[in-house]
Chains A and B, each alone.
Chain A
Amino acid sequence: LAKTTQPISMDSYEGQEVNITCSHNNIATNDYITWYQQFPSQGPRFIIQGYKTKVTNEVASLFIPADRKSSTLSLPRVSLSDTAVYYCLVAADNYGQNFVFGPGTRLSVLP
């Protein structure tokens, strides 16, 4: 299993860009990188997924260097409502014990 390491917590201010980096040194060839967001008292919600280079959607961007040993989730111009826990997962699929949610990064957006 590809183990991931990400910061336990981060603080930011409204309007700033936030970058959360995840390390996954032993990522396998078939693994994808997926990020989820979890608000208090809710289930996690899919944000973005990628395999290499850059992926962008309406809420975030995901940057993956060529060696794929790390990835960075970028949230542009955060607001108070972006305060949540962000999970980085690395797996070839989301089935069973291969898809592991670690403690995540607790992002606090301050006014």
Chain B
Amino acid sequence: NAGVTQTPKFQVLKTGQSMTLQCAQDMNHEYMSWYRQDPGMGLRLIHYSVGAGITDQGEVPNGYNVSRSTTEDFPLRLLSAAPSQTSVYFCASSYVPGLAGGPAGELFFGEGSRLTVL
């Protein structure tokens, strides 16, 4: 299994350009999410999804758009890139416990996509 795959690994954009960061997982996980990590800081949640057709905002959603048309894919779109969006972006996925609940599922992360906006 490949796990969580992110593309591209590196990208340079000019202010105002748009682009899509791709994320795919082959573990049949219902939950997928996008984080950004700025230098020396923890991860901040951008958007997340608990299943196909369901998305919700995280802590820092402005300037980003997501959709979840399949279980496997969860692309992150930058609508009009700004220098403040220069960061490393991580996609993560996990299973969702059933109705009986249980402990938090382990988050599996991709290797990250490093984005620079000039």
**Could you tell me the distance in whole angstroms from the C-beta of A47 to the nearest C-beta in chain B?**
10
Q: Is B110 touching A43 in the complex (CB atoms < 8 A)?
A: yes
Q: Which of A23-46 contact B (CB under 8 A)?
A: 32, 34, 36, 41-46
- In terms of DSSP, what is the predominant structure of the interface of chain A? loop
CA distance A32 to B104 in the complex (A): 7
B79 interface contact, C-beta 8 A = no
Q: Is B104 touching A42 in the complex (CB atoms < 8 A)?
A: no
Chain B residues positioned under 8 Å from A32 (CB to CB): 103-104
Of A43, A92, A101, the contact of B42 (CB 8 Å cutoff)? A101
Binary interface profile of B, 1-18, with partner A (CB < 8 Å = 1, else 0)?
A: 000100000000000000
Chain A residues positioned under 8 Å from B74 (CB to CB): none
- Total interface residues in chain A, CB < 8 Å: 25
Q: Is B50 touching A87 in the complex (CB atoms < 8 A)?
A: no
B residues with CB within 8 A of A: 4, 31, 33, 35, 40-45, 48, 50, 56, 58-59, 90, 92, 94, 96-97, 103-112
A residues with CB within 8 A of B: 32, 34, 36, 41-46, 49, 51, 87, 91-97, 99-104
A–B complex contacts, Cβ < 8 Å, 9 sampled: A32-B103, A34-B104, A36-B107, A42-B112, A94-B31, A95-B31, A96-B56, A97-B45, A103-B42
